[in-house]
């Protein structure tokens, strides 16, 4: 896939932050956040794309502009298709409004064509992604209810058949636009080996052709680092595919901030051995990266930190809820770089 280990960041909110006047500092100097990331060892950027988001960010037009910036800096680019107008995750996999009344065959064709047209537009701008996700955290399926598989009522051979047909349509569209593009399939079960095996066994059963396994791993939801290690060790040998932990984060504080109800706000949510301090965050990231690199057969090829730049630049956000992530960033509330960002400068060597 790549000769280097991917030190990645998902900066999908960066466009909106900059439009709100948010700035970033490396020391005392105000600089472009993407340049700060690159100069601190980050070599891959992930963006989500929504079909027609009400807030106007993360749509095709804004993605094209961000992608050009990413490529201009020489960075690897991962594009995350949500196939929705809003968040797609294990609790939400809702169709875009424009697709809600389509029959199944029409829906499958819409997925193929939208994927192809998006990548074709990026290619025309010299900003073709190096890798694409066909869906985001699709453990329970996607494009509900046609592609729904989560829960006993939906966990049937018929539903898995429909779900995987929709995924294959996305892959077909991607390959029509860019035959050599790397395809990732992403679920949320970083510390859950049984759940991960159930999902990827199904994809093998239905012959879904993809290149890279993507996992989300947040310790307050997905278990310990040892749980993650056990899962990576098994998946690497079982499926012989490269693996990226494509979402993670850790707090640098749990101190309350008015107007920001943080997702991680108590000692009980922290991983043992890693306090919610700038130094504790840096220690977590250092150990997390080394754990991935120890994956058998060199299959652990990288990570992406989720929203390291989502500083509290404004109070109302396009996604319709407050910033609940500002203590999980790699910049402090004012946009100044935190120590954890400095550990990646010499960690881009891919394990053999």
- Positions marked catalytic: 137, 247
Tell me if 312 sits within 8 A of 15, measured CB to CB. no
- In the DSSP assignment, the letter for residue 298 is G
- The counts of H helices and E strands in the chain are 9, 12
Identify the helix (H) or strand (E) that includes residue 122.
helix 104-124
CA distances from 175 to 14, 20, 48, 114 (A): 28, 36, 19, 12
SS (H, E, C) 260-289: ECCCCCCHHHCCCCCCCCHHHHHHHHHHHH
Burial class (CB in 10 A: 0-12, 13-18, 19+), 230: middle
Peptide bond into 286 cis (omega under 30): no
């Amino acid at each position: 896939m790549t000769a280097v280990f991917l030190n990645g960041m998902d900066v999908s909110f960066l466009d909106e932050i900059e439009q709100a006047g948010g700035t970033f500092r490396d020391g005392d100097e105000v600089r472009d956040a993407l340049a700060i990331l690159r100069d601190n060892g980050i070599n891959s950027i992930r963006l989500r794309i929504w079909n027609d988001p009400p807030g106007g960010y993360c749509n095709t037009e804004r993605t094209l502009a961000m992608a050009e910036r990413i490529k201009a800096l020489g960075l690897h680019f991962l594009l995350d298709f949500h196939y929705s107008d809003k968040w797609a995750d294990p609790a939400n996999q809702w169709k875009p409004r424009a697709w809600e009344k389509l029959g199944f065959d029409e829906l499958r064709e819409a997925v193929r064509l939208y994927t192809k047209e998006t990548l074709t537009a990026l290619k025309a701008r010299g900003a073709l992604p190096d890798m694409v996700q066909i869906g985001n955290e699709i453990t329970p399926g996607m494009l509900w209810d046609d592609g729904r598989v989560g829960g006993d009522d939906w966990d049937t051979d018929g539903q898995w058949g429909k779900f995987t047909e929709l995924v294959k349509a996305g892959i077909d569209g991607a390959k029509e636009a860019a035959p050599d593009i790397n395809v990732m399939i992403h679920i949320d079960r970083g510390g859950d080996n049984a759940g991960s095996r159930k999902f990827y066994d199904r994809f093998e059963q239905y012959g879904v052709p993809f290149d890279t396994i993507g996992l989300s791993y947040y310790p307050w939801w997905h278990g310990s680092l040892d749980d993650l290690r056990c899962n990576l060790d098994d998946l690497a040998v079982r499926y012989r595919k490269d693996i990226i932990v494509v979402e993670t984060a850790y707090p640098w504080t749990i101190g309350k901030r008015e107007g920001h109800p943080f997702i991680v706000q108590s000692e009980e949510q922290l991983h043992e051995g890693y306090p919610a301090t700038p130094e504790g965050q840096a220690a977590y990231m250092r150990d997390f990266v080394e754990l991935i690199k120890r994956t058998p057969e060199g299959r652990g090829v990288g990570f992406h930190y989720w929203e390291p730049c989502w500083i509290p630049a404004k109070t109302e956000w396009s996604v319709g809820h407050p910033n609940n992530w500002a203590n999980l960033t790699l910049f402090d509330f004012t946009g100044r770089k935190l120590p954890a960002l400095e550990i990646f400068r010499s960690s881009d060597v891919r394990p053999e």
